[in-house]
Amino acid sequence: RRSRDRFVGVPPVEVLQSVFGFPAFRGLQEDAVSRVMAGEDTLVLMPTGGGKSICYQVPALCRPGMGLVVSPLIALMDDQVAALRQLGINAAALHSELDGDESSRIHFELTAGQIDILYVSPERLLSPGTLGRLSRMQVSVIAIDEAHCVSAWGHEFRPEYRALENLPQHFSGVPRIALTATADPRTRKDILAALAMPGAAVLSASFHRSNLIISARPKGGEMKQVTAILNRHKGEACIVYCGSRARTERVAASLRERGWPACAFHAGLSPIEKRAALHRFRSGEPIVMVATIAFGMGIDRPDVRAVVHLDMPSSPEAYYQQIGRAGRDGLPSDTLLLYGGEDMTRARYWLDQSAAPDSEKRVMRSRLEAMIALTETTACRTRALLTCFGETLQKPCGHCDNCRSPVPTFDGTKAARMLLSAIYRTGQRFGALHVIGVLRGKVSEPATRNGHDKLSVWGIGKEHSENFWRGVVRQLIARGALMMGNEHGGLMLQNDIARPILRGEEEVRLREDAVQAETGGARGGR
């Protein structure tokens, strides 16, 4: 029988070569491994595909005892276990979907000390029976994968992760390594605090993925925009992200009608349906996965050639993670984000409606604002995105849409001033539609009732279409000159930025495409 500790005393790099078949450590792996070997707590920030698993798998084998890996997703665990078993490592996963036989086999092997690496869901790990049993065993390292799940600010918060702060009490002296692909400073701070590892070394890799070609465009006939990009990737794998379950079903059906091998994926599917969809995706066949954010963690298909967002993600972190599912093989891959003013207002509305405490809402709001700014930027998108993660790209990437074709802009100073004055004169409590109605002199009951048809701004923006004005609103929001002041989407001036524009002290360049598009499309109910 193989001994669990057969690699103790073997240098980590030899285990990397002989067990995993890699010639050398990559990037931060070596640093991370040697810190864990030395018994230190570590936080590793690495983009998806960066090679996080090696950081805990190698020390798990090289240190005496069994490696314990906390992971939030069953699919993810099962994948890793299967891969390790192929390498001759006795790995196992404890989670709620095990059948009785599996479960008793694992327990037998645990007792016999035969398991090299045990994957476990947080709720299972912290259940009294399991915790008691595991804490009596010798553990080489505790890895906390997808560690951003512990952060309530994050987009994938899992309350079960909170209880992980108690781990040191049960496994004293065992080094912990937390790993995540979410790098913003706020989440980082949260992870260290919530996992009670204030002294941990933080190792952060670059998040620049130079093979991702980032582009974003205002919505204007969504299905046409989506199929245009899919056409460039016939016979390949693509992911189309949507904001709601119903929408994935609708879009998938509509793509199938047009002959695309489209498949919907969302949290409302039965486990069997989910498994079938994942199986299709992983099999390597051509597929267009039309999915909500439920399709994410643990998806490891290297040859995804395009990621399209039909709806705007809620934060740059979520966006980065989702586009990061393209091009894991390092080959050039397309990403396209479609956005509209409605997306932005709706996202704000839901945020306002959420039951979260104000402090949390403020953080989510600032992430949303950063996301909006990213969609509207006329500068290098790759650089703007990396800035969100505290990383500076020395020069523009050269291959995002804005780098390849500089955005045509026009002098929108006059229009911006008109809009800001209309918002000011109507008392800073009405939504975009009403204000635009006032600018265009559109008679309505609320306009008459509030006496807005008597204002000096009434009808001064008649020569422009409603779409034009929507584009101006969105860009002034993106610029930070406007914000939502109430739950009805009421617009308010952000004085520091709005005042110089109103006084005519500042020129406002607006994107031409933003005031032209924004028509039709298969939008609606989510």
- Report the C-alpha gap between 239 and 287 in whole angstroms: 8
Task: Pick one of 42, 48, 292, 387: the residue that binds ligand ADP (CB under 6 A).
Answer: 48
Decide: is 212 part of the binding site for Zn ion (CB under 5 A): no
3-class SS letters over 289-324: EEECCCCCCCCCCCCEEEEEECCCCCCHHHHHHHHC
Q: Pick from Zn ion, ligand ADP, none: which does 48 bind, CB < 5 to 8 A by kind?
A: ligand ADP
Of the pair 396, 480, the CB lying nearest Zn ion is at 396
What, of ligand ADP, Zn ion, none, does residue 428 touch, CB below 5 to 8 Å by kind?
none
Residues in the chain: 526
Strands 333-339 and 409-411: unpaired
Q: Which of 4, 15, 19, 29 binds ligand ADP (CB under 6 A)?
A: 29
Scan residues 390-419 and list those touching Zn ion (CB under 5 A): 396-397, 400, 403
Quick one: tokens of 46? 């690495």
Cα separations in angstroms, 25 against 17, 188, 210, 488: 9, 24, 21, 53
Residue 217's alpha-carbon distances to 94, 186, 255, 340, 512, in angstroms, are 44, 29, 20, 9, 11
Judged by CB under 6 A, which of 28, 32, 33, 54 binds ligand ADP?
Answer: 54
* Nearest distance, CB of residue 115 and ligand ADP, angstroms: 20
Q: Is 22 in the site for ligand ADP (CB under 6 A)?
A: yes
Q: Which C-beta is closer to ligand ADP: that of 24 or that of 272?
A: 24
- Binding status of residue 206 toward ligand ADP by CB under 6 A: no
Q: Which does 345 bind (CB under 5 to 8 A by kind): ligand ADP, Zn ion, none?
A: none
- Give min distance, CB of 450 to ligand ADP, in A: 55
382 binds Zn ion (CB under 5 A): yes
Q: Which two tokens stand for residue 295?
A: 């399709």
Shortest distance (Å) from residue 48 CB to ligand ADP: 4
Please say which residue, 374 or 498, places its beta carbon nearer to Zn ion: 374
Angle at 223 between CA 314 and CA 386, to 5 degrees: 35
Task: For Zn ion, give the closer residue by CB, 1 or 395.
Answer: 395
Residues facing residue 94 across a β-bridge = 120
Rounded alpha-carbon distances, angstroms, from residue 389 to 157, 204, 206, 315, 433: 19, 11, 9, 11, 34
- Closest approach, Cβ 404 to Zn ion, in A, equals 8
Distance separating the N- and C-terminal Cα atoms of the chain: 56
Of positions 5, 26, 223, 464, contacts ligand ADP by CB under 6 A: 26
3 state SS of 266: coil
Q: How far is the CB of 47 from ligand ADP (least distance, A)?
A: 7
Q: Report long-range pairs for 435-444 (Cβ below 8 Å, ≥24 apart).
A: 435/473, 435/491, 436/461, 436/466, 436/469, 436/470, 436/473, 439/464, 439/469, 440/464, 440/466, 440/469
Query: Which of ligand ADP, Zn ion, none has residue 221 at its interface (CB below 5 to 8 Å by kind)?
Result: none
| Residue closer to Zn ion, measured from CB, 211 or 486 | 211
Query: What would the two tokens of residue 131 be?
Result: 């915790």
Binding site for Zn ion (CB under 5 A): 380, 382, 396-397, 400, 403
For ligand ADP, the binding residues (CB under 6 A) are: 22, 25-26, 29, 46, 48-54
